[in-house]
Amino acid sequence: MNSVSIKKRTLWITSIVWMIGLLPLIGLGTYLIKKNRDLRYKYTESKEIELEKKIYVARQSVYQALNTIMDQIESTTNAFEEQNLSALPAYLKKTLETLAYTSGIGVAFAPHEYNKKDTFHATYIVKDAHGFKTIDMQKYYNYADTEWYQSAFGKKITWMKPFLEVSTNTYVLRVVAPIYRFDTSLNTRIPIGVFFVDISRPDINMLVNKTIYDTNTYAFLMSFDNTLISYPIESYLDTYKTLFGISQLPGKKEWHQIQNDIERKRGGITTFSDSLSQESSWVAFEPLGISDWCIVYVTHQESLLSIQSIRHNAIQLASLACALILYLLGLLTYLLQLKHKKNIFVASTTLCFLSLTIFQLYLTTNKAHASNQTIIKSEIDLARFKDFQQQRDKQLRKPNALYIPTGIIINNLLMRSNNKLEVQGLIWQKYGPDMKNIKKEVDFVNTESIKLTELYQTKEGDTITIGWSFHTILNTVFDQSKYPFNILQLDIQLFHPNFEKNIILIPDFGSYGQHEIDTSIGISTKIVLEKGLHISDSYFFYVTKNNPSSLGLSNAVRQQEFPDLSLQVDIKQGIVNPLIAYLLPLLIISLILFYILLEENHLTSDDTIMRISLLGQTAALFLALVFAHNSLRSFLKISTIAYLESYYFIIYAFTFLVASGCMLRSKKDDKKISLFVHFYHNLTYAYWPLIFVIIYIVTLYFFY
């Protein structure tokens, strides 16, 4: 058989082997895709089942609470003829005390029914910060002309849509029922007024959300005609009034389809994706069974953390499978090729693991939130946080929290070192009428120095807004273990330096544009950054802390589970400069080391002088490697080993192997070292594949 036919036969065999090798890869890829899809389906199905249970519990909780109010109303109206009118205020107060989630109760009498002298009379008992307050409603307006009064007659119990109660200047959800007296002359019952119970907006929102125990979920009530009954962001009830109004907001168009399903009185579960923030949610809605209302339950898909974990597992399996298959293909080619078989093996395995390493680094996501973080990215998140905080304060017996809207804009952000940052910008706060005696100031945590300069102080209505410019040096610790593929997470923690009052800073979302809120809140569009850095994300969050002492104060409220407001800024580092500064020298040293390895393999045992020269060159490379490594350590200033440092340790090992070979090859006749000499001879072919195999394994270890 001539050489040409042998080459053709070898080419055909090699091609067939490569094609056969691709079949397991395709099969494995198909399996992983199917497995991933099945896991997605199971994950989604389990979440939908869990959501169905949650909305059932929430619906039952709201239904029972509202039904209790209706039972009390029915009991009161049925026995009202026996009620002594002089004791009516005391009776109403006692009833209000027993009813949960209510803010007011009253009786509005028909003309001359309370007494013959007064045309109108309405006794209205409301809860306030100091207890109970009695209001004569007739002094504020003619209630007989109102919709709520007139709607009460003709029905046993009627739930009204939220409206502004003029006598208290608050929005209420009112349930009304007619009251009667028996007219003996007519031998029938005639209406003498309206009995009513009020639920305030905060109370109905707390009732709807009381069964929710995580910050990824919220609920609200709406009627089938699209009117919002409750909503976590109270201002939406006044501004947009309907779900259709909210659907006109940027990124909220999909609410329109959900609204259509609700109007058709259909319950169910659907998905909603905010096109602006790219956040996905499940939306469950179910008729409440009271009036024409339904409860809507929204839960974020937790940034698809579980699905991302599934994807990462699949990617790792796929990449490892690719590595194994390509390595086997290279090995088969090595066995089949007649010429240059070792070179093909070296090239295939080296390119394989180099590509896989780059692929893994491309897929790397280092960002992780602490388990005790409560992320606040919208007004809904803030409303849920305030509800949770109110419940927590009650459990800890703290006074009601005073919330100070606070905003911040960062103009300059410069890294002085790995643990010191110079930050400049603007900060402002808004103080309401209930904070007249609160000193207007703000402070930063973990600062080396800070300078606050008041820029302005304005008053709009009862609200005082004060703004400062600030210049501070922040002490921070960045995780540089994955440098340069890590994300620097800067936490700017703010607090009010009054430790005796329950003062909590909250994000002033109203002072930011919607685009800023959804992209990079708190960051100036003209921010000054060091070259090579850019902002990838920013958001507000709370970390609940327990202070170890009372700081010498008898009534320190910050000691137990106190939330501090923080702005997190995620900073990505450019990888070009670090690769040039720290990886390029490694590549050059590796190439020279490989050249020494090739040269040494051509030497005989008698070429002692040349071997000593190569050994000296290896020592010089080792010193250069040490200096480069020391430069990297000086820059990072960390106690652990960074990802990029592992490259240096790999080259250290190969430098030692090359140096050992230079010394031991001269004694290749010694049987004790013959095995090492044989290995060293093959190191020429295994050099690059082995380096990139180790780098790939190290990459998987650091990032996964």
Q: What is the DSSP letter of 593?
A: H
Contacts of 416 (CB under 8 A, 6+ apart): 422, 473
For the chain, the distance separating the N- and C-terminal CA atoms, rounded to the nearest angstrom, is 52
CA angle in degrees (0–180, nearest 5) for 154-122-93: 100
pLDDT score recorded for residue 338:
46
For residues 580 and 132, give the distance between their C-alpha atoms in angstroms, rounded to a whole number: 73
Determine the CATH number of domain 373-573.
2.70.170.10
Please write the tens of the pLDDT for every residue from 452-507: 999 999 988 888 999 999 999 988 877 777 887 777 888 899 988 887 788 889 99
For residues 513 and 521, give the distance between their C-alpha atoms in angstroms, rounded to a whole number: 9
CA dihedral 451, 455, 459, 465 (to 10 degrees): -40
Q: Which residues of the chain have pLDDT under 50?
A: 276-277, 303-308, 310, 338, 366, 368
Bridge partners, 404 (sequence order): 505
- Segments making up each domain of the chain, as ranges: 3-69+304-362, 79-199, 212-300, 373-573, 577-703
Which string of DSSP letters, residue by residue, matches 430-486?
Answer: EE-GGGTTS----EESSEEEEEEEEEEEEEETTEEEEEEEEEEEEE-----TTTTS-
- 577-703: which CATH topology? Methane Monooxygenase Hydroxylase; Chain G, domain 1 (1.20.58)
Percent of the chain as helix, strand, coil, to the nearest 5: 45, 25, 25
Query: pTM surpassing 0.75?
Result: no
Class for domain 212-300, per CATH?
A: alpha beta
What are the b/e assignments for 428-445, b being 16+ CB within 10 Å? bbbbeeebeeeeeebebe
Q: Give the gyration radius of the chain's Cα atoms.
A: 37
For residues 334 and 330, give the distance between their C-alpha atoms in angstroms, rounded to a whole number: 6
For residues 286 and 267, give the distance between their C-alpha atoms in angstroms, rounded to a whole number: 4
- Structure-block tokens of residue 630: 């020391």
Please write the tens of the pLDDT for every residue from 563-618: 889 999 888 887 778 888 888 888 888 888 888 887 777 766 666 677 778 888 88
3-state secondary structure 661-694: HHHHHHHCCCHHHHHHHHHHHHHHHHHHHHHHHH
Contacts of 321 (CB under 8 A, 6+ apart): 24, 25, 28
pLDDT score recorded for residue 184:
74
- 79-199: which CATH topology? Beta-Lactamase (3.30.450)
- Structure-block tokens of residue 562: 């106190």
Whether 79-199 shares its CATH topology with 577-703 is answered no
For residues 125 and 591, give the distance between their C-alpha atoms in angstroms, rounded to a whole number: 87
For residues 440 and 34, give the distance between their C-alpha atoms in angstroms, rounded to a whole number: 59
| Cβ–Cβ under 8 Å, residues 344 and 330 | yes
- Structure-block tokens of residue 255: 């609410």
For residues 116 and 100, give the distance between their C-alpha atoms in angstroms, rounded to a whole number: 35
